[in-house]
Amino acid sequence: MADLSKYRNIGIFAHVDAGKTTTTERILKLTGQIHKTGEVHDGESTTDFMEQEAERGITIQSAAVSCFWKGHRFNVIDTPGHVDFTVEVYRSLKVLDGGIGVFCGSGGVEPQSETNWRYANDSEVSRLIFVNKLDRMGADFYRVVEQVKNVLGARPLVMTLPIGIEDNFVGVVDVLTRQAYVWDETGLPENYSIQDIPADMVDDVEAYREEMVETAVEQDDDLMEAYMEGEEPSIEDIKRCIRKGTRDLAFFPTFCGSAFKNKGMQLVLDAVVDYLPAPTEVDPQPLMDEEGNETGRHAIVSADETFKALAFKIMDDRFGALTFVRIYSGKLNKGDTILNSFTGKTERVGRMVEMQANDRNELTSAQAGDIIAIVGMKNVQTGHTLCDPKDEVTLEPMVFPAPVISIAVQPKDKGGSEKMGIAIGKMVAEDPTFQVETDEDSGETILKGMGELHLDIKVDILKRTYGVDLIVGKPQVAYRETITQAVEDSYTHKKQSGGSGQFGKIDYRIKPGEVNSGFTFKSTVVGGNVPKEFWPAVEKGFKSMMDEGVLAGFPVLDVEVELFDGGFHAVDSSAIAFEIAAKGAFRQSMPKAGAQLLEPIMKVDVFTPDDHVGDVIGDLNRRRGMIKDQEAGVTGVRVKADVPLSEMFGYIGTLRTMTSGRGQFSMEFSHYSPCPANVSEQVIAEVKARKEAEKK
């Protein structure tokens, strides 16, 4: 069994853009988990593995990463700093034993820093402080330390001091050991030297060291008495006292550096080992009865106890359905049967993995202190207790308040419906305080949250992260366009306005592509009629036009373009000329190729009592639905059908009327299908009218 004293379950949290993810990346680099450090601004970081995170350089979900440092196992969670994902921080803090609060050297204690700090206080999580980005313009370590005192009401215990500032920041002084760590200009974390303290810093270092020692020995009466009598405590005694004070939240060891420049991180990792608690050193989780009252029993952190774990995050990713759990007691082996004490159902553990952000290692066993993910669990939600079927227990649950406000939303842009549905589904799974339902009468999407600000933030997420603009009212359907015929055509772009002009001629074939192929391009040009250096420009021009079709401006699906000939001018031809030619060619040829409007078809699953089956099927047929299957059950019938999304608005109200309130349905996107002529004409006319109205 692993030595639990060598475990550290920690979170990294802060205000957005304070450098949490970069700090995590440096930890992984130093501990050997990654060989090439990913940069947030390059979209390569290991823990920001969602596409939106990589694009924006922010952390949205809490990514779990395991690594090792000086014989200790770190389970690290890189939590989001945006207030819109505060629930992620709350959930993470519930299962962590310690944390690193990252503060920007120039931004200082920012709003989300306060929120995270308050949550950490509520969860009684021991913390280190890392003042980051001291190489940034306007950085001031000492100002941030004062803000920690005044804004957070916390007691920072300064452990390192910066050598230089902004562009001249070169390293840190370890106040405890009186050593200076100076990095060279290579940017490599291992390229540092240990030197004497700069002469102009000696007095400051001694002053901070005296304050550190006085604060530390408060944790040991005998040591404090000896210190008052003039006896200098050993470094090991000071560390022991700092560890105790950190665990008891008496103070917070404070470090400084630049994660991006790889300066100061080793001392932070050493501090995680030296000062943050092991799982066995934190108060054990209380066990609750059915009414939610404490029983007096606790989940003792030991592999010898019966299995007890808390599910703290549910996530669907490219690996499948993952249930993140913190194991508090006992062991878990692959193939074990465990009980969900909330549902009363048992499940067999088929696979469990140790997460490495966007990678994972298969596990055969895990034990108390581990943070792992179980693959493919059913009927498990955030806050559920998983335990030994022979010893049913309930851990203190995560309690999320009920929503108090709601708004109706619809996608503003033409492609918004599909994206909105997918995005909201993900957001609901991620945030238990955010709920969605379909209005019984109007069929509108209703978002429910904790307040006006909460919902404003959710709308902002839909806009920023998922690219969906929202307005109140009936949702607009996400139609698409495509072509139905192959066309061979030619287009010439020629512009003469004095001096060098523009010239590009392309001969091409455009035809329907394979379903779900998107846009494909190939060149079969032989000879130099269209020089090879201009082929990418032709492809770029065609591809850019796929965003807006010629019928009603909807995105275009499944088109294949072949460039087979053309012409160029030695002086006037350029990449931009051929790109413009390709755009003109698209507009010219798409109508000739039988442009067609596509509508989203939804996979609809309806449950109805037996005596209303005929009404339900008849109504679905009137909505242009295609019945796919019927399944008779004990209390009713499930009807499965493919139905155009545009026909499903207000369906919940109709269904409840038909079934006296007993019918239920679910709906998900299935595929795109050609619109009937009358529907296509109506949609195109509505879009045209809307655009005309927008011009006025």
97-115 pLDDT, tens digit each: 999 999 989 878 875 677 7
> What is the DSSP code string of 356-421?
ETTEEEEESEEETT-EEEEES--S--TT-EEE-TTS--EEPPP--PPP-EEEEEEESSTTHHHHHH
439 in a known ligand binding site: no
- The model's confidence at residue 33, banded by pLDDT at 50, 70 and 90, is low
Q: What is the mean pLDDT of residues 398-411?
A: 67
15 in a known ligand binding site: yes
14 in a known ligand binding site: yes
User: Which residue has better confidence, 77 or 249?
Assistant: 249
Q: Is the pLDDT of residue 78 over 80?
A: no
Residue 488 parent element (H or E) = strand 487-495
- The model's confidence at residue 45, banded by pLDDT at 50, 70 and 90, is very low
Q: Is the pLDDT of residue 694 over 60?
A: no
262 in a known ligand binding site: no
Distances (CA, A) of 472 to 49, 73, 409: 32, 50, 5
Residue 35 and residue 29: Cα distance in Å, rounded?
6
Q: If you average pLDDT over every residue of the chain, what do you get?
A: 83
pTM of the model: 0.60
286-307 pLDDT, tens digit each: 888 876 778 888 888 888 999 9
Quote the pLDDT of residue 430.
66
- The model's confidence at residue 316, banded by pLDDT at 50, 70 and 90, is low
Residue 167 and residue 636: Cα distance in Å, rounded?
72
Range name among 64-73, 265-274, 452-461, 678-687 with the lowest pLDDT average: 452-461
78 in a known ligand binding site: yes
199-222 pLDDT, tens digit each: 999 999 999 999 999 999 999 999
Q: Is the pLDDT of residue 39 over 90?
A: no
Paired tokens of 523: 């060149």
Q: Which residue has the tokens 């404070």?
A: 254
432-443 pLDDT, tens digit each: 778 888 765 446
Q: Is the pLDDT of residue 404 over 50?
A: no
Range name among 325-339, 554-568, 633-647 with the lowest pLDDT average: 633-647
Quote the pLDDT of residue 633.
63
Quote the pLDDT of residue 46.
42
Q: Is the pLDDT of residue 81 over 50?
A: no
Backbone angles phi, psi at 158, to 5 degrees: -70, 120
Distances (CA, A) of 169 to 132, 179, 421: 12, 16, 48
71 in a known ligand binding site: no
Any idea what the Cα angle at residue 83 is, between residues 77 and 89, rounded to 5°? 25
Residue 606 parent element (H or E) = strand 596-608
369: β partners: none
- Please state, for a pLDDT cut of 90, what percent of the chain lies above it: 45
Give the N- to C-terminal CA distance of the chain in Å, as an integer. Answer: 74
* Interacting residues of 307 by C-beta distance below 8 A, sequence separation 6+: 327, 329, 330, 331, 332, 336, 338, 386, 387, 388
135 in a known ligand binding site: yes
- The model's confidence at residue 281, banded by pLDDT at 50, 70 and 90, is very high
Q: Are 479 and 600 in contact (CB under 8 A)?
A: yes
541-558 pLDDT, tens digit each: 999 999 889 998 888 999
Quote the pLDDT of residue 376.
85
Sign of CA dihedral 265, 271, 273, 279: negative
Quote the pLDDT of residue 695.
66
Paired tokens of 579: 């790109």
132 in a known ligand binding site: yes
Residue 607 parent element (H or E) = strand 596-608
Quote the pLDDT of residue 637.
84
133 in a known ligand binding site: yes
Quote the pLDDT of residue 668.
65
Chain-centroid distance of CA 52 in Å reads 7
Q: Are 542 and 483 in contact (CB under 8 A)?
A: no
DSSP state for residue 234 in the 8-state scheme: P
Q: Is the pLDDT of residue 445 over 90?
A: no
- Please state, for a pLDDT cut of 70, what percent of the chain lies above it: 84
Residue 606 and residue 665: Cα distance in Å, rounded?
4
Q: Are 374 and 321 in contact (CB under 8 A)?
A: no
Q: What is the mean pLDDT of residues 67-94?
A: 70
Quote the pLDDT of residue 318.
63
* Interacting residues of 114 by C-beta distance below 8 A, sequence separation 6+: 151, 152
464-512 pLDDT, tens digit each: 778 888 774 444 566 889 999 999 999 999 987 766 789 999 999 999 9
Q: Are 227 and 213 in contact (CB under 8 A)?
A: yes
Q: Are 168 and 134 in contact (CB under 8 A)?
A: no
DSSP state for residue 442 in the 8-state scheme: T
Name the CA dihedral angle for 377, 347, 95, 69, rounded to a multiple of 10 degrees.
-80
Q: Are 173 and 255 in contact (CB under 8 A)?
A: no
Any idea what the Cα angle at residue 651 is, between residues 443 and 621, rounded to 5°? 145
198 in a known ligand binding site: no
- The model's confidence at residue 63, banded by pLDDT at 50, 70 and 90, is low
Q: Are 218 and 160 in contact (CB under 8 A)?
A: no
Quote the pLDDT of residue 474.
45
User: Which residue has better confidence, 319 or 47?
Assistant: 319
Count of residues for the chain? 696
Residue 513 and residue 546: Cα distance in Å, rounded?
13
Q: Are strands 126-132 and 252-256 parallel, antiparallel or unpaired?
A: parallel
Paired tokens of 216: 């530390």
**Ordered domains of the chain (ranges, CATH):** 7-281 (3.40.50.300), 285-395 (2.40.30.10), 405-476 (3.30.70.870), 481-594 (3.30.230.10), 597-678 (3.30.70.240)
80 in a known ligand binding site: yes
606-633 pLDDT, tens digit each: 888 888 999 999 999 999 999 998 978 6
148-203 pLDDT, tens digit each: 998 888 999 999 999 999 989 999 999 999 999 999 888 788 889 999 999 999 99
Distances (CA, A) of 684 to 378, 625, 691: 44, 22, 11
Backbone angles phi, psi at 526, to 5 degrees: -115, 130
